[in-house]
Amino acid sequence: MRDLLPLLQLIFAFWPLTLLAALRGWWRGRGERFPIAIRRGLISFLILWFLFAIAGLLLITHQLPLLGFLPQSWNTAAFIVTGAAAGSLLLGLEWWQNRGVWHALRTARSVQDLQALSPGDFEELVAAFFRSFGHRVRRVGKTGDHGVDLVVYTRDQGKWIVQCKRYRSSVGEPVVRDFFGAMHHEAASRGFLMTTGSFTPQAMEWVRGKPITLYDGPGLVKLLRSCRKMRRWR
């Protein structure tokens, strides 16, 4: 282990450049919404920051100096401030993005409440619903999404995909049929099509026997009501 410490010192010296490189994802995410791209960049940044922090603690434990482009005290302070700033920015971004969503989870009592949300907030509301059950949810960008808004990764039921439609009108069979094709493309075990509007009788008949669950506006209101009771969101 001690033989690797000098290499660890050298690696630690380049932490500013490495962390800056981790942020490149927020401007390289073509077709991805800006908040999603910068969030992904910040998460990558913080993962690397924690790895550098572990390396720094190992060096300190072995009474070795932390090399850097600045004097050690300044270098250490800059490292700590950078991590705290990135963490605060990520928390602030999460709060800003989801402030309307969490309010809706607690207060949405009617279809009109759901239709008052922006399309992005409605999508995040559905994502928050799935996350509340411990599933990992990835929001998909608009370009090349094949009709998929959310990808849900479950622990024991495979991958699900979700399409969110903040509509006032009806969703017809062609939309459902295309969504079924997206399921096959994504190799998803189940699909959820959720709308604030309604589904035509043809659409509901077409999904019979298929691993697709449809939620219309009233169905979503009931779903959120039951979720509030289970999770005590009041």
Q: What one-character DSSP code corresponds to residue 174?
A: H
**Mean pLDDT, residues 44-51:** 88
What's the CATH number for 109-231? 3.40.1350.10
Please give the torsion angle defined by the CA atoms of residues 200, 202, 203 and 208, in that order, rounded to the nearest 10 degrees: 130
Closest CA to 162 of 171, 174, 153: 153
Q: According to the model, what pLDDT value does residue 234 have?
A: 41
pTM of this prediction?
Answer: 0.58
Q: According to the model, what pLDDT value does residue 225 have?
A: 78
Which among 25-29, 140-144, 178-182 has the top mean pLDDT?
Answer: 178-182
In whole angstroms, give the CA distance from residue 115 to residue 153.
27
Structural domain boundaries in the chain: 2-106, 109-231
**Mean pLDDT, residues 177-182:** 94
Q: What is the mean pLDDT of the chain?
A: 82
Q: Which residues contact 87 (CB under 8 A, 6 or more apart)?
A: 46
Q: What is the residue whose two structure tokens read 């500013």?
A: 16
Asked if 29 contacts 141 with a C-beta cutoff of 8 angstroms, the reply is yes
Q: What is the residue whose two structure tokens read 């995410």?
A: 29
DSSP assignments along 141-163, one per residue: PSTT-TT--EEEE-SSS-EEEEE
Percentage of the residues of the chain whose pLDDT score is greater than 90: 31
**Mean pLDDT, residues 220-230:** 76
